[in-house]
Amino acid sequence: MYTPDPSRYEKMAYRRCGRSGLMLPAISLGLWHNFGNITPFAQQQSVLRCAFDNGITHFDLANNYGPPAGEAESNFGRHMDLDWHTHRDELVISTKAGYFMWDGPYGDHGSRKYLISSLDQSLKRMHLDYVDIFYHHRPDPDTPLEETMGALDHIVRSGKALYAGISNYKPEEARRAIKLLREMGTPCLIEQPSYSMFNRWIEDGLTDMLRAENVGCICFAPLASGLLTDRYLNGIPADSRAAHDPRFLKPDSITEDKLVKIRSLNELALARGQKLSQMALQWVLRDGVVTSALIGASKPEQILDNVKAPFGPEFTREELDRIDAVLKA
């Protein structure tokens, strides 16, 4: 029987998501990796429990998370039954559809047919009546945006999701989606783009647009899938993502050029009295437009490090300039 830490809400900062009533933890946990069939169930459970014990109230999933696709949601359903059903109203659980999920013309992209049936499948796998946020996972240039946003509007009105979100939308696509949803009466709660020190594309128009529209932003892979930590400073550990699950982080992408930057950033972090992971998370949160940093974790210790990030020393102008200089070198 799991009893959460009674002091959990004192350990986290909560930030308002756009102009909505919803507060998100500054650090949220995603189940993209480490929750499929290659990770022991007890290890998954210890990460989820540690997250909640430290005030992480938001768990992010998608239909295709695994491996294999669907398995992270199925495992989460088992965790739900064991640990979370009595805490459902303390949690913000999200899922998505938009990437390939099943064979044939109806298991991918952005049709009403795909989104609505996919969410029904997700709810069954997770043993939930509703999710808090349902996202269209990526833009689909071949489906009218009116249809995709209409599906999100329908899903929210049907009560199967409380809020609608978009993910991986570029500034102009996002602006149109936000406008359509607003006209339909289901405001877009949040955009979920990638963002980290190594991947700054959102600074080129998206953040300004989200700020102007008062839409929240949760940025994924803020640690560049583990690169912006001390994980790879001395080689590739056997239990790391690059070694044991290199679907998206290939060992040969950890180049000497990257390592030079990682070592310099690590020194800057240590000079600030932080770990590199903490500095990297605090950096994505430095400007209020990012509501939450969406991390992954394979161990409770990583959660314990990362939840301290929002409470690190404020960046000075000089430190930000030095980080920019390292990244541009």
Query: How many C-alpha atoms does 36 have within 13 Å on its Cβ side?
Result: 17
Alpha carbon of 165 to those of 109, 149, 216: distances in Å? 15, 10, 9
Which region, judged by CB under 6 A, interacts with ligand NAP, from 44-52, 142-150, 262-270, 291-299? 291-299
- Of 111 and 225, nearer to ligand NAP (C-beta) is 225
Q: Would you say 244 or 322 has its CB closer to ligand NAP?
A: 244
Which of these ranges, 50-58, 107-115, 207-215, 289-297, lies near ligand NAP under the rule CB under 6 A?
Answer: 289-297
Pick from 22, 224, 254, 290 the residue near ligand NAP by CB under 6 A: 224
Segment (H or E) for 292: strand 292-295
Please confirm whether the linkage preceding 67 is cis (ω < 30° from 0): yes
Q: How many residues bind ligand NAP (CB under 6 A)?
A: 30
274 by Cβ neighbours in 10 Å (0-12 / 13-18 / 19+) ranks as buried
Q: Which is nearer to ligand NAP, 78 or 185 (CB)?
A: 78
User: Of 295, 310, 312, 323, which lies in the binding site for ligand NAP, with binding defined by CB under 6 A?
Assistant: 295
Interface of this chain with ligand NAP, residues 85 to 144, rule: CB under 6 A: 137
Indicate the length of the chain as a whole number: 329
Query: Measuring CA to CA, which residue among 107, 85, 82 is closest to residue 97?
Result: 107
Task: Kindly indicate which of the ranges 32-40, 119-127, 172-180, 316-324 contains the residues binding ligand NAP, using the contact rule CB under 6 A.
Answer: 32-40
Distance of closest approach, residue 229 Cβ to ligand NAP, in angstroms: 3
Helix 71-79 / helix 41-53 crossing angle, nearest 10 deg: 60
| Binding residue for ligand NAP, selected from 165, 222, 310, 312, defined by CB under 6 A | 222
Least Å distance between CB 65 and ligand NAP? 7
Q: The tokens of 107 are what?
A: 């298991």
> ∠ at Cα 86 (78, 70), nearest 5°?
25
Which residues would be at the binding site for ligand NAP (CB under 6 A)?
30-34, 60, 137, 167-168, 192, 220-226, 229, 231, 240-241, 277, 294-298, 302, 305-306
